[in-house]
Amino acid sequence: MKTIKYISLLLIAILGLSSCQDDDYEVGTPFNKVEGVMGDWSVKSVLLMNEAGEQMDITSYFDFATFKINFKDDNTFEVTGNAPDFIGMATGTWSLDDAEAPMTVLLKNGDAKSQFGLVAPPRKGTNLKIKYVRMVGDEAIATYIYELSQN
């Protein structure tokens, strides 16, 4: 009986030691979110989502083929092409609400302002997903999610 106890304790010790892993890993350099927004972008897709959470791909209902937006490194932007005007202005300045943990892209031209929420943090080399919430008074009636691909 003593032998079984010792063998059991030895097995438990071996299992306990073998389950330990080296948890050291490199996180890497944090990516620059501002650089993740900069560049020329085209519309890849547009989803319309109602407040019940139902989604519909509306990309094919509009001609986004020539739409381009260029977020320049001097924090200006320019919209070109013939597409539905979802930006609200053709030129102006852009900024992020927070350079380290952005939630919103802010566009401005004089008194005109547009605000787009970020669906995911912007990262160079990935598509940019922004959303616009359409309001009537204080009530949100629809959300448009634009997926932009870099040219």
Distance of CA 37 to the CA centre of its chain: 10
pLDDT in tens, the chain (151 residues): 667 776 766 667 676 666 656 666 676 777 899 999 999 999 999 999 987 889 999 999 999 999 999 999 999 999 998 878 888 899 999 999 999 999 999 999 999 999 999 999 898 889 999 999 988 899 888 899 999 999 8
Cβ(40)–Cβ(68) below 8 Å: yes
The whole model's pTM is what?
Answer: 0.77
Kindly state the tokens that stand for 32: 């620059």
Taking the CA of residue 9 as centre, how many other CA atoms within 13 Å lie in the half-sphere pointing to its CB? 6
